[in-house]
Amino acid sequence: MTHNKLSDQVSGKTIRLSWTDGPTKGTTQEYVFHKDGTVEWHSIKKDGKRKAASESGDTETTKKTEKLHYAAMKITDDVCMAS
């Protein structure tokens, strides 16, 4: 059985990434790292609100938002790696 490591640096926090280059240029994604070790992510509209799953064209997530488990490890006092 695999045990995920959690880091207080991301556990219970929300992180938004806005892309200025590459294939996702001009988009923003929000990652919510729950204290139970799960993570969920959403695309964000330009007005700052979450896109509905139906707006992204993903009919599978329209039914239910999937929360997957994450692992996060402290690298330095101000750097954490999450996967």
Residue boundaries of the structural domains of the chain: 13-82
Q: Percent of the chain having pLDDT more than 70?
A: 75
* Cβ atoms of 16 and 30 closer than 8 Å: yes
**Residue 2 pLDDT > 70, yes or no?**
no
Instruction: Answer whether 0.75 is exceeded by the pTM.
Output: no
Mean pLDDT for the chain?
A: 80
Position 52 scores a pLDDT of 65
Position 14 scores a pLDDT of 94
What is the pLDDT confidence band of residue 12, given thresholds at 50, 70 and 90?
very high
Higher-pLDDT residue of 67, 11: 11
80 forms beta bridges with 74
**CA-CA distance, 83 to 71, in Å (whole number)?**
5
Alpha-carbon distances, residue 38 vs 15, 35, 80 (angstroms): 14, 7, 16
